[in-house]
């Protein structure tokens, strides 16, 4: 990949255990935006999404009005999918409920992997699964809690970026780091 954003994303964050709730929320949102699109498209619009959604400050996003969300449909710098835009607010509201119940979204999320990154054998990334039994379980739980666009494929991608699973190729210098 020649896109500097993509290279930096892989080298500086992808697969590194993440425990900051605001960063987890942003990455969860980014995974929801990706549905049906390339990851590169989402990365290229990341800064615009940050501006549109108040730096992903949870309470600000949760409090956005329908009018504010509708206005984003006129913003060419972001992915203008109404369902995804409205899902961002719904997910902020659900995220806040999880925080209230567990003390932090981080606590809730990492419980699924007993607090440790699962390192998978990935000889070639093209052989890595699109979803797993665990991503299906988390997806089901998230949906029950009111999250949107959190199917098992998006959840596995989120688990990878947040470091719950290490799916770097076996010969990648970042494997197990």
Say which residues have a Cβ less than 8 Å from residue 144's Cβ, sequence separation at least 6: none
In the three-class reduction of DSSP (H, G, I as helix; E, B as strand; rest coil), residue 165 is classed as: strand
Q: Which of 9, 33, 108, 110 is catalytic?
A: 9
Distance CA 175, CA 90 (A): 34
Q: Which of 39, 56, 108, 110 is catalytic?
A: 39
Q: Which of 14, 26, 31, 56 is catalytic?
A: 31
In the three-class reduction of DSSP (H, G, I as helix; E, B as strand; rest coil), residue 118 is classed as: strand
The candidate with the shortest Cα–Cα distance to 108, out of 119, 96, 120, is: 96
Say which residues have a Cβ less than 8 Å from residue 41's Cβ, sequence separation at least 6: 34, 79
DSSP label at 128? S
Distance CA 160, CA 117 (A): 9
What b-and-e string marks burial along 113-133, b requiring 16 or more CB atoms within 10 Å of the CB?
beeebeeeebeeeeebeeebe
Task: Respond yes or no: is residue 174 known to be catalytic.
Answer: no
Residues designated catalytic: 9, 31, 39
């Amino acid at each position: 990949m020649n896109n500097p954003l993509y290279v930096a994303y892989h080298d500086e964050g992808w697969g590194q255990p993440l425990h900051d709730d605001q960063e987890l929320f942003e990455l969860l949102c980014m995974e929801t935006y990706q549905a049906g699109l390339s990851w590169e498209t989402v990365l290229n619009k990341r800064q615009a999404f940050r501006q549109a959604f108040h730096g992903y400050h949870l309470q600000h996003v949760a409090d956005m009005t329908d009018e504010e969300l509708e206005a984003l449909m006129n913003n060419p710098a972001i992915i203008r999918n109404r369902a995804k835009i409205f899902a961002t607010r719904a997910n902020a509201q659900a995220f806040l409920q999880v925080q209230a119940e567990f003390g932090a979204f981080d606590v809730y999320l990492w419980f699924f992997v007993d607090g440790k990154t699962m390192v998978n054998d990935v000889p070639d990334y093209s052989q890595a699964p699109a979803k797993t039994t665990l991503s299906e379980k988390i997806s089901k739980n998230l949906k029950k809690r009111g999250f949107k666009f959190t199917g098992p494929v998006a959840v596995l991608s989120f688990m990878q970026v947040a470091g719950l699973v290490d799916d770097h190729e076996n010969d990648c210098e970042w494997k197990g780091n």
